[in-house]
């Protein structure tokens, strides 16, 4: 049994816990939290809830820590620290800062002789794998990534920060006609606006200036200004009833040629009822790989691109049958 620890018990941590239940070669040993452990009730009766600052005490009792903190402020600080004592997995997803995070984690995990795998999830993660395999087998071509329809937490948070907004949910929606173009081998050049639209559902305070909220959303740089955005004001009840899930998905499509009129299309797509539960499942599979790499003495930091796929499944499964 691979003994797993979860650091952080939000949506993602809870998703990892469910994934561990579904994998018979793993068990959850402990959840580490910055909240009061007494206020946390796990699904897993046999696991402990421990204060985060006591994590190092468990270094001989846990094989891999799955770090479920946020990318912006938490993971860059905590993953390197955890790597001093543990094999560690995280889902760091700030694409432009992955190299920096990698180097920090690599340095520490090499000296502690631990194995870390960072930026595990579906993007970065499974989508990165789709990009590397499709580029490797179609060296001449173009790769397109479409996200959604799904809830973007970052964009939802951005709307929530606007004055007069009580709650908000933002869906990223791919433009179907663009997807169809790419699927049909059209190597088009798209603007951001041509690939995705943004749909916002907003609960406003009583008496708030809705026109002004809508204007602020639609003109927000980086988040909305470059997209066709629709804003729908709804009641708290409707938010709860129709927008409580965290569905997501998307697709990576590569078009390539092997001769003038010989086109090939490779597509990888996901349709997910729960983004954190699916991401949690991916983290659990890569935790298994980290554990096995470490047993083989392969220490330091890795990304999903470095991992032989065979290490992701329990050793009890005859992977030859999947060929």
Taking a C-beta distance cutoff of 8 angstroms, is the pair 125, 303 a contact? no
- CB closer to its own copies out of 23 and 152: 23
Task: Report d(CA 133, CA 62) in Å as an integer.
Answer: 33
Tell which residue, 148, 190, 191, has the closest CA to residue 171: 148
Task: Report d(CA 216, CA 231) in Å as an integer.
Answer: 11
- CB closer to its own copies out of 152 and 255: 255
- CB closer to its own copies out of 132 and 225: 132
Q: Name the minimum Å distance from CB 77 to its own copies.
A: 20
Give the distance from CA 249 to its chain's centroid.
11
Joined together, the tokens standing for residue 311 give 């290490």
- CB closer to its own copies out of 140 and 235: 140
Task: Report d(CA 36, CA 118) in Å as an integer.
Answer: 27
Q: Name the minimum Å distance from CB 139 to its own copies.
A: 5
Q: Name the minimum Å distance from CB 3 to its own copies.
A: 18
Helix (H) or strand (E) holding 198: strand 196-204
Give the distance from CA 128 to its chain's centroid.
11
Q: Name the minimum Å distance from CB 181 to its own copies.
A: 14
Q: Name the minimum Å distance from CB 10 to its own copies.
A: 16
Tell which residue, 76, 73, 71, 37, has the closest CA to residue 55: 37
Q: Which residues bind its own copies (CB under 8 A)?
A: 15, 18-19, 22-23, 95, 98-99, 102, 119, 124, 126, 128-133, 135-140, 183, 185, 256, 258-259, 261-274, 277-278, 280-282, 285, 303-310, 312-313, 317, 319-320, 322-323
- CB closer to its own copies out of 115 and 281: 281
């Amino acid at each position: 049994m691979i003994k797993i620890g979860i650091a952080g018990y939000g949506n993602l941590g809870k998703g990892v816990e469910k994934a561990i239940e579904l994998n018979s070669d793993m068990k959850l040993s402990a959840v580490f939290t910055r909240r009061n452990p007494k206020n946390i009730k796990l699904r897993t009766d046999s696991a402990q809830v421990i204060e985060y600052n006591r994590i190092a005490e468990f270094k001989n009792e846990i094989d891999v820590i799955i770090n479920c903190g946020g990318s912006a402020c938490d993971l860059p600080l905590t993953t390197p620290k955890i790597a001093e004592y543990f094999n560690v997995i995280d889902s760091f997803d700030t694409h432009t800062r992955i190299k920096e995070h990698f180097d920090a984690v690599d340095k520490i995990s090499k000296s502690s002789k631990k194995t870390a795998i960072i930026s595990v999830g579906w993007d970065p993660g499974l989508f990165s794998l789709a990009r590397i395999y499709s580029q490797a087998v179609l060296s001449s071509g173009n790769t397109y990534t479409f996200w959604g329809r799904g809830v973007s937490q970052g964009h939802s948070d951005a709307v929530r920060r606007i004055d007069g907004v009580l709650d908000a949910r933002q869906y990223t929606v791919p433009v179907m006609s663009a997807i169809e173009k790419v699927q049909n081998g059209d190597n088009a050049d798209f603007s951001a606006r041509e690939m995705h639209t943004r749909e916002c559902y907003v609960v406003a305070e009583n008496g708030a200036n809705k026109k002004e909220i809508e204007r602020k959303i639609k003109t927000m740089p980086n988040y909305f200004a470059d997209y066709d955005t629709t804003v729908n004001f709804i009641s708290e009840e409707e938010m709860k009833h129709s927008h409580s899930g965290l569905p997501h998905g998307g697709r990576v499509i590569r078009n390539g040629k092997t001769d003038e009129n010989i086109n090939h299309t490779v597509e990888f797509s996901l349709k997910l009822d729960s983004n954190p539960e699916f991401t949690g499942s991916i983290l659990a599979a890569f935790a298994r790989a980290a554990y096995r790499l470490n047993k083989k003495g392969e220490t330091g930091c890795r990304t999903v691109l470095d991992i032989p796929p065979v290490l992701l499944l329990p050793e009890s499964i005859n992977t030859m049958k999947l060929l």
